[in-house]
A and B are shown apart, each in its own frame.
Chain A
Amino acid sequence: MDVKLLRIDSRLLHGQVATDWAKNANVERILIVCDQAASDSIRKTLLIQAAPPGLKVHVLTLAKMIRLSRDERFSKLKVLILVENPIDAMRLVSGGVEVSSINLGSLSFDATRKMITETIAVNEQDIVALTWLKKRGIELDYRKVSSDPKRDLWKVLCDKGLVNEEQS
């Protein structure tokens, strides 16, 4: 599968993703990979309805996503993958989904988390997952819209003292 963009966003598919990222990533499908959403018919319906015109959206489980990524029949398919959190992103990459960079949209705040940018909050697990990804040479970028210059999230994590530079 030809993954044009892997994006982490708590809200998965929403207006900005639909209008900006999906258009500029030049993809044929949007794959939303989230076990909860795949088994929640209301959420699934809402996500599918939020699709930008002309683009098809699928809501898949992690297991299925990994299976599809290995299926020859889909090797040419250009896709945008959305996951809810860094852990799911890590699972996908460890399952064989190939990407060179990951875009972080928003990670919503809760009591276990700490705000590190205006939209991104992380907890320890997230940091572990992000570190794991960084170690595999994957860029972590947190632009808001695709036309902005790239912004390195790893640098933010370092500045906040949440990770050691050497870890990468």
Chain B
Amino acid sequence: MTRKERILEFVSTSDKALTTKEIADALGILRNNTSKELNILVREGQLTKIAGRPVKYQALDVSPKEVVIQEEIVDTLPPSEPQTDIFTTMIGRKDSLKTQIEQAKAAILYPPHGLNVLITGPTGSGKTYFANAMQQFALKQGVIENENLIVFNCADYAHNPQLLMSHLFGYVKGAFTGAQEDRDGLIQKADGGILFLDEVHRLPPEGQEMIFYFMDHGTYNKLGEIAKAHHANVRLICATTEDPESSLLKTFVRRIPIMIQMPKFEARTVREQLALLKRLLTLEANRIQKNILVSEDVVKALLGSVTFGNVGQLKSNIQLVCAQGFLNCVDQVDQIKLDFEQLPQNIKDGVSHLASDRARLSKLSQLLEPVLTIQPNGSAEILSDSDRYELPYNLYEIIGNKAALLKEEGLAQDAINNFIMTDINVHLKSFYRENKISRTEKNLNELVDQDILQLTKNIMQMLHTESGYPIGENFIYAMSLHLSSFIKRVQSGKPMREVSDDLVTMVKDYPEDLTLAQKIRDMLEEHYEFSVPESEVYYLAVLLISLNSVPKHGKVGVVVAAHGNHTATSMVQVVNELLGVDNLAAFDMSLQMSPTEALNEIIKKVVQVDRGNGVLLLVDMGSLGTFSGKITEKTDIKVKTIDMVTTAMVLEAARKTALIDSDLELVYNELRDFNGYSRKPEDPSEELEDVRPRAILALCSTGKGTAQKIKQILDEILADELVDDVSVLTVSMVGLKDQLDEIAKNYRVIATTGIADPNLGVPYISLEDLFKGEHGKKQLITQLDNSKTWYVEKSVKPVVPEVDQAMAIRYLEQYYTFINPKKIIGVLWGYCDLLEAETDLHLSASRRLALIMHLGGVIERVLLGAPVTMTAEQEAEYTASVWKRAVESADDYLKEKLDLTIAPAEEYYIAKLLDTELLKS
């Protein structure tokens, strides 16, 4: 008897309607399988479904005791018969993807061979997904016979046109060293089907030429052939994140008739966003085979956490929180719960991002239930190997196995969770390399007792439930360090701190914080069973006031307004991708638009990004420059306008407003003088050099507890970084102004850190950043070294110098005497490419340069007849080296090209260089 028949029999013989779970439990069949069979039985008319929660099933011939509805349930379960149109299940088919889908269908069905397509859209907007759908559609329609979508990412070999071409077009024996037999390229593999060229803007000019020829004629030649003798019938789908109007793509756009623009996540309707979230969660539910319960807050946080990364980012975030939820509920058999409190901070922050967009929030609230239950549905979404947001293995299986294993070894649950979260972060780092989960607490563990940490969490809970006191990322550090130093003081029997009049006056203005401080005092007294002096209450109040003042100073908003269809948007997009900020908005003013219309649109944007601290308006020209007064009049929001906007200017504005908590006037004044990053530094002799020694301020409410601790940590780091000319000064929040004046006489303050930002117009390092781990600290400090002005480059990637042949030539010219860099560079460059191909290593820019410089030395030594030697030991090491073969074949290339003999000792050094590369990557 099949599974279906067993279920049918069981339900038919029962005298009452049954839920899926009852049936599944009674028959020992997995719940989602049961559900699937039940749905089939309903559709076949053998069973009926009874509405309600949970849904019940009964045999058809039993007279219904409850209301029966016979509706189709399509959304959760695709019908089992082969679908003719994949697009009918695509989210957004009726709305934001409507045109796109029509275009796609047209392109596929266009007689006789379809049309080539270019898909554009920002990172993560679903270009690959869409291309896969097109392939499936074409297959179902019978217009192509090749079942595989051939995917090629042009960025993979962008620095090596020859290799790229050999992959695409194939090569014949002897086309180059190492081409030992004929090989077909991807074009041939895609014959009768679709070739998907991702990141097509990275295709080098030679490649473009050959692709164009192929598009026009359907014929091509392999590498090493002269005649274009091969024919293939291939449809092309290209994809790019570039603006199609950029010069890179212009040639492409001219040749490709259909251009499909994927919308960014923000631009999709709220309903679609929610549907996407559900579908992505269902994917995870299918993997886990458990229900996933998601609270309203979590849904909001997840949707709000999507910034520049679009659906892809949503997917990564969902994978992360599901992995975490899975771990926390590993003992629960049938469901996992995603709890808002346990979300990582960056995802929690999504709620506030969302809150700033009232229209979107209210629409979403209408669609949401308090708890969303996602069930596994057993259906297989179209997923392809080329989905870079998809993990290549089942993460949950790994988590489950590992947790079980660790438990067997008798580890405590806390330790297990900690251990596995680290693992999860490693797996999911694709999106957030600097993930903050659990790292925060781990570092804090080194500084304060577990007991105090727990108490701090209780206090957080109390503040949250009783007063809605805003708890920022800094809170847990500041409070636990404060408590820790207070408890130590009590335990060591030192005298209590005095309360100064200043302090009392200051606290008087904040009665609410004082009340909260008293409540915290009560908690302390209860926990430690000693009496806490009144003075401490004041210090606690100061702490609360300081911490609370942070969110009041919202960021300054930035609106970029420029003429043209994409100008402003693309500038903002670039900056968003670089910095991941949320206080930017773009307004594209088409040339037909009237100034009044533009003004109204800009006002909307201004309101959207305003956080109560004013908005900076960056415009290109014309009437746009005159709006600020009118905007302030209508909205009461302070607005400052700067004209002649450039991408560099937007970047600078975003950095100044997001990373440094400064006010509108300050940012405005600084930006007005900004001339781009490439400006030559001003002649130092012209400005009066500031001779005061540099200092970093550490702030806490007393200047003695937390601040001392920070000073210790910073001093250690500074010494480790060999920074000898920066002092760390501890400062109390009480009487801050006077202390600052005093300090300014003797020191130049270059940065501040501690429980609150004193807003001195210099970078502020939050406690969280400071404790983020070895790497974070050091990075912050390294920037102090040798720098006159200094920014916290929080999320900006370090500048990787672009190494090209011209640069290599310059270096070779500078350091070598007997070789001709211009003539030899091609050979050396090729050597590096060959070595990369042979070893599967990717040489970083600086490694490549280092290797080329080294090769220059090798050749010069040969010319001078002055070879290096190696010891017997080194020789043995080289013989055993995994690189030996690769280095030898690369050297053969060099020998052949230049007719030189290279000593094995030289090969040893090259192998060592590769060792270094491997160790560091």
Contacts and interface: CB of A to CB of B under 8 A. Distances in A.
A53 B849 contact: no
B804 to A, nearest CB: 13
B724 A71 contact: yes
A147 B868 contact: no
B846 A49 contact: yes
A60 B723 CA distance: 10
A58 B846 contact: no
Interface string B834-878: 000000000010110111011001001100101011010000000
Interface string A28-42: 010100000011011
Contact of A53 (B846, B850, B860, B919): B919
Given A19-B909, A118-B861, A11 B815 contact: yes
B916 A19 contact: yes
A39 B719 contact: no
A45 B798 contact: yes
A52 B920 CA distance: 8
A27 to B, nearest CB: 14
A53 B916 contact: yes
Contacts of B725: 67
B553 to A, nearest CB: 32
Contact of A144 (B815, B868, B920): B868
Given A53-B916, A108-B817, A16 B849 contact: no
B468 interface: no
Contact of B854 (A15, A29, A38, A115): A15
A158 interface: no
A68 B719 CA distance: 10
Contacts of B857: 16
Contact of B801 (A10, A45, A71, A147): A45
Contacts of A121: 817
A160 interface: no
A14 B866 CA distance: 19
A73 B724 CA distance: 9
Q: Which of B721, B816, B915 has most chain A Cβ within 10 Å?
A: B816
Contacts of A85: none
Interface residues of A, number: 38
Contacts of A46: 801, 846, 849-850
A131 interface: no
A15 B868 contact: no
Contacts of B816: 108
B688 interface: no
Interface in A41-93: 41-42, 45-46, 49-50, 52-53, 58, 60-61, 64, 67-68, 71, 73-74
Contacts of B846: 45-46, 49-50
A162 interface: no
Nearest to A148: B869
A15 B864 contact: no
B912 A15 contact: yes
A15 B815 CA distance: 14
A16 B909 contact: yes
Contact of A49 (B724, B814, B844, B913): B844
A109 B817 contact: yes
Contacts of A103: none
A18 interface: yes
A19 B868 CA distance: 14
A38 B912 contact: no
Given A10-B815, A121-B817, A74 B722 contact: yes
B492 interface: no
Contacts of B909: 15-16, 19
7 contacts: A15-B853, A15-B912, A19-B915, A45-B801, A49-B846, A73-B719, A118-B861
Interface of A: 10-11, 14-16, 18-19, 29, 31, 38-39, 41-42, 45-46, 49-50, 52-53, 58, 60-61, 64, 67-68, 71, 73-74, 106, 108-109, 115, 118, 121, 144-145, 147-148
